[in-house]
């Protein structure tokens, strides 16, 4: 196998997923958490849209059948997942912005504030 | 037909937001009553005619998205619908019970029904993702600083956890070209070697374990369920019902992979560890909500043990424990809500004299405590009895007794709230609806214990016969446990020290994600070494 064949959407997708995960494990800034999350999700999208794909297929649109149809399901799933991903990122950013404006905190804290049990 | 389960609460919630009228509230109760009636109708349909399938758009089964109701899922649906009624009644006069809250609360009900009914993997992902959003908004509903922080942790951890599931589903789809759980389970037989599904299995199990909150991954749960300012009904629904969707998905996924991967030993030990860690952490807490939240971890561990014993009676015992735990844990959270509202503190050492101050609330609390510790005639005792029957191994009995001892110890601490001198004279004024709902749930804890034999047959078509002599013996063991619990409480727990320090250990956000990755690695290593 030539080394170039290794660089497919699937491998790159999985790699991106774990790069995002690395960011989540190591970065304490909340904004970087949100960015890493997006990278992770981008990896998943890339993985999905390349599975079950072979080069000589056509999109399943119209009636003509010159070649085999490509599998439309992963792309259809990913449209939904991308929409959800946008929503989730937006909600995450909203929460973060509110939190920062109200309390001025941008990092994940070390310990949970135990004030709740003491008053 | 089954689609109504998901759609109806969401539409009802939308109505409350559109009209924004307080006068619409009675309509919610009427709706919920009709919804329960409909659940019973489908329940009897499943009981008589076997599993029901509803395909979206009328496409061929297996190709379309489908909702699927068998005896387990319809039981979960029925349970959720009935308990939601109690929660709605509890919240009737509460300040936070406004249109926006009602909308989110009802939508959450629809999403949970979707999780229980759907047979399509991608829909499971969607329901998990949307319910994460709804739950995190409900947690931070009062916009208090701590609540927002807890809600954010909950939100990010769960969104990241669900991406594991999505990647796992992609890998399964790549191998099988299927998304339907029932058909995937049949297709598993065609695999030549199980190693083809190791990675998707491990990825999906990480998500499910995160949702179930087993040992290394439970750090988000006490934060989310024990948030100080979250309304009591939110804590009750999270701890009583929503956490069970994780256990339910675990059962579904393990059944799906069962032809090729059988990991029940691994998850049995994970369950045991979770149960022990849960009560050890609970012993060190002062905050009554946190005590209850850590006990959810412990009880879920017990349920995981029952599910993974590879015996039928223990499995149904675990399912019955899902039911019992939903009853007593939501009662405890609801009454805890009334209690800290009245006393103005959540510190378990400062609240005293509940029987004098709020007798009815105290009775409900006492009933629920007897339920969770497994007192004779209460529902907890029956489900623990069934789980204990799953194995004849002496070691397993010891393990179960250890967990019971832990539960007794920390609920002895919890029960000290009931007695002692009341700080103020006279009785406190409590909201009638809230008290009635809590009382009803508390008595259900007793009733479902008394009529357990008939109920298990009615709900699961599973006959269980409680041997009287053995049950009496368990009763004696219970009394011994209680005495030991009181002794431990007075000897060790009251003085704090090491136990308090253990109770306050917690993972940071990065720590939670790292433990998730560690869990994934352990799962893959276990799969490739042992299987």
Query: pLDDT by residue (tens digit) across B67-108?
Result: 999 999 999 999 999 999 999 999 988 888 888 999 999 999
Q: Please tell me the predicted confidence (pLDDT) of residue B8.
A: 94
List the structure tokens of B100. 């926006």
Residue A119 has pLDDT above 60, yes or no: no
The average pLDDT across B338-354 equals 87
Nearest-angstrom CA–CA distance, B207 and B299: 19
List the structure tokens of B260. 């090729």
With contacts defined as CB-CB under 8 Å, which chain B residues touch A118? 286, 347
Residue B152 to residue A73, Cβ atoms within 8 A: no
87-126 of B, contacting A, C-beta below 8 A: 122, 125-126
Tell me which H or E stretch contains B53. strand B52-55
Residue A115 has pLDDT above 50, yes or no: no
Nearest-angstrom CA–CA distance, B306 and B300: 10
Q: Which of A95, A98, A99, A118 to mutate to test the interface with B (most CBs of B within 10 A)?
A: A95
Residue with tokens 């995190």: B136
Counting every residue written for chain B, the total comes to 531
With contacts defined as CB-CB under 8 Å, which chain B residues touch A50? none
With contacts defined as CB-CB under 8 Å, which chain A residues touch B514? 25
Q: What's the domain range around A28?
A: 3-53+70-108
Nearest-angstrom CA–CA distance, A17 and B93: 47
CB–CB of B56/B64 below 8 Å? yes
Residue A21 to residue B145, Cβ atoms within 8 A: no
The average pLDDT across A16-42 equals 93
CA–centroid distance for B471 within its chain: 26
Stretch among A2-16, A99-113, B286-300 having the lowest mean pLDDT: A99-113
Model confidence over B158-213: pLDDT tens digits? Answer: 999 999 999 999 999 999 988 999 999 999 988 888 888 899 999 999 999 999 99
Model confidence over A68-107: pLDDT tens digits? Answer: 888 888 989 999 999 999 999 999 999 999 888 988 888 8
Q: Which residues pair with B55 in a beta bridge?
A: B66
B118 phi and psi angles, rounded to 5 deg: -65, 145
- Closest-CA distance, A110 to chain B, in angstroms, reads 6
B145 reaches A (C-beta below 8 A): yes
List the structure tokens of B461. 């078509």
B57 reaches A (C-beta below 8 A): no
261-290 of B, contacting A, C-beta below 8 A: 285-287, 290
Give the gyration radius of chain A's Cα atoms.
21
Helix residue spans in B226-287 (DSSP H): 232-237, 243-257, 264-283
Domain count, chain A: 1
Q: Which of B131, B163, B348, B516 to mutate to test the interface with A (most CBs of A within 10 A)?
A: B163
B52 phi and psi angles, rounded to 5 deg: -110, 140
CB–CB of B4/B38 below 8 Å? yes
DSSP B1: -
Q: Please tell me the predicted confidence (pLDDT) of residue A116.
A: 41
Q: Report helix, strand or coil for B286.
A: coil
Q: Report helix, strand or coil for B69.
A: strand
Q: Report helix, strand or coil for B120.
A: strand
Q: Please tell me the predicted confidence (pLDDT) of residue A111.
A: 58
B267 phi and psi angles, rounded to 5 deg: -75, -25
Q: Please tell me the predicted confidence (pLDDT) of residue A4.
A: 66
Q: Please tell me the predicted confidence (pLDDT) of residue B69.
A: 92
Which of B325, B301, B116 lies closest to B217, judged by CA?
Answer: B301
Q: Please tell me the predicted confidence (pLDDT) of residue B254.
A: 92
CB–CB of B76/B248 below 8 Å? yes
CB–CB of B393/B267 below 8 Å? no
Q: Please tell me the predicted confidence (pLDDT) of residue A112.
A: 55
Model confidence over B441-451: pLDDT tens digits? Answer: 999 888 988 88
Which of A97, A73, A90 lies closest to B159, judged by CA?
Answer: A90
Nearest-angstrom CA–CA distance, B368 and B442: 6
Residue B152 to residue A96, Cβ atoms within 8 A: yes
Axis crossing angle, helix B71-90 with helix B25-49, rounded to the nearest 10: 160
Q: Which of B179, B513, B518 to mutate to test the interface with A (most CBs of A within 10 A)?
A: B513
Nearest-angstrom CA–CA distance, B28 and B319: 29
Residue B125 to residue A48, Cβ atoms within 8 A: no
Residue A61 lies in a domain: no
Q: Which of A25, A43, A98 sits opposite B148 (nearest CB)?
A: A98
ipTM above 0.95, yes or no: no
Residue A77 lies in a domain: yes
Q: Which of B133, B159, B228 sits opposite A116 (nearest CB)?
A: B228
Stretch among B32-36, B469-473, B494-498 having the lowest mean pLDDT: B494-498
| Mean pLDDT, rounded, of chain B | 89
| Angle, alpha carbons B48-B52-B53 (nearest 5°) | 165
Stretch among A39-43, B103-107, B368-372, B492-496 having the lowest mean pLDDT: B492-496
Considering chain B, what percentage of its residues have pLDDT values greater than 70? 100
Which of B107, B118, B152 lies closest to B17, judged by CA?
Answer: B107
Residue A114 has pLDDT above 70, yes or no: no
Residue with tokens 């109806």: B8
Q: Please tell me the predicted confidence (pLDDT) of residue A118.
A: 37
Give the alpha-carbon dihedral of B402, B404, B405, B406, to 10 degrees: 90
Residue A37 to residue B159, Cβ atoms within 8 A: yes
Which residues have CB under 8 Å from B184's CB, separation 6+?
B121, B172, B176, B178, B256
Exposure string of B306-337, with b = 16+ CB inside 10 Å and e = fewer, is bbbbebebbbbbbbbbbbbbbbbbbbbbbbbb
B128: exposed, middle or buried (C-beta count within 10 Å: 0-12, 13-18, 19+)?
buried
């Amino acid at each position: 196998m030539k080394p170039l064949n290794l660089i497919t959407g699937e491998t790159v997708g999985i790699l991106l997923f774990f790069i995002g995960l690395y960011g989540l494990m190591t970065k304490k800034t909340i904004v970087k958490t949100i960015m890493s999350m997006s990278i992770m999700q981008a990896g998943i999208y890339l993985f999905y849209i390349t599975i079950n794909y072979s080069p000589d297929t056509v999109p399943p649109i119209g009636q003509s059948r010159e070649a085999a149809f490509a599998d439309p399901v992963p792309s259809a799933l990913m449209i939904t997942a991308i929409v959800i991903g946008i929503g989730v990122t937006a909600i995450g950013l909203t929460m973060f912005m509110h939190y920062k404006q109200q309390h001025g905190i941008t990092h994940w804290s070390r310990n949970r504030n135990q004030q709740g049990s003491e008053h | 037909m089954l689609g109504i389960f998901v759609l109806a609460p969401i539409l009802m919630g939308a109505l409350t937001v559109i009209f924004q009228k307080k006068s619409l509230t009675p309509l919610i109760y009427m709706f919920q009553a009709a919804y329960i009636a409909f659940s019973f109708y489908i329940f009897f349909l499943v009981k008589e005619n076997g599993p029901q399938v509803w395909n979206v758009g009328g496409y061929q089964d297996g190709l379309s998205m489908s909702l699927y109701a068998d005896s387990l899922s319809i039981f979960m649906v029925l349970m959720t619908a009935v308990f939601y009624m109690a929660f709605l009644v509890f919240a009737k006069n509460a300040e936070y019970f406004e249109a926006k809250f009602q909308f989110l609360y009802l939508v959450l009900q629809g999403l949970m029904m979707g999780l229980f009914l759907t047979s399509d993997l991608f829909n499971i992902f969607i329901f998990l993702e949307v319910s994460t959003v709804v739950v995190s908004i409900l947690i931070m509903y009062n916009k208090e600083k701590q609540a927002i922080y807890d809600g954010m942790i909950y939100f990010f951890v769960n969104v990241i956890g669900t991406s594991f599931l999505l990647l796992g589903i992609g890998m399964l789809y790549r191998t099988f070209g299927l998304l339907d759980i029932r058909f995937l389970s049949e297709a598993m037989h065609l695999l030549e070697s199980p190693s083809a599904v190791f990675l998707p299995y491990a990825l999906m199990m990480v998500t499910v374990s995160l949702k179930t909150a087993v040992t290394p991954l439970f750090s988000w749960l006490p934060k989310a369920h024990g948030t100080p300012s979250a309304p009591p009904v939110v804590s009750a629904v999270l701890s009583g019902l929503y956490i069970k969707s994780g256990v339910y998905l675990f059962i579904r996924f393990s059944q799906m992979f069962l032809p090729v991967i059988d990991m029940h030993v691994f998850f049995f030990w994970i369950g045991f560890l979770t149960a022990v860690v849960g009560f050890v952490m609970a012993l060190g807490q002062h905050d009554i909500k946190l005590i209850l939240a850590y006990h959810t971890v412990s009880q879920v561990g017990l349920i995981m043990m029952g599910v993974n014993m590879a015996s039928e009676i223990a499995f149904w015992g675990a399912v019955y424990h899902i039911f019992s735990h939903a009853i007593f844990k939501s009662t405890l959270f609801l009454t805890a809500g009334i209690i800290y509202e009245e006393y103005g503190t959540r510190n378990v050492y400062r609240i005293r004299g509940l029987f004098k101050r709020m007798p009815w609330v105290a009775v409900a609390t006492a009933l629920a405590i007897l339920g969770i510790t497994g007192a004779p005639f209460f529902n907890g005792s029956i489900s623990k009895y069934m789980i204990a029957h799953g194995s004849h191994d002496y070691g397993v009995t010891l393990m179960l007794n250890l967990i019971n001892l832990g539960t007794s110890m920390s609920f002895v601490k919890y029960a000290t709230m009931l007695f002692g001198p009341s700080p103020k004279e006279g009785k406190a004024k409590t909201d009638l609806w809230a008290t009635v709902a809590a009382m009803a749930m508390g008595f259900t804890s007793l009733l479902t214990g008394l009529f357990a034999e008939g109920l298990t047959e009615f709900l699961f078509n599973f006959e269980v016969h409680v041997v009287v002599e053995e049950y009496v013996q368990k009763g004696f063991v219970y009394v011994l446990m209680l005495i030991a619990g009181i002794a431990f409480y007075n000897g060790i727990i009251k003085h704090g020290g090491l136990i308090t320090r253990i109770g306050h250990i917690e993972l940071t956000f990065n720590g939670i994600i790292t433990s998730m990755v560690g869990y994934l690695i352990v799962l893959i290593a276990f799969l490739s070494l042992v299987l």
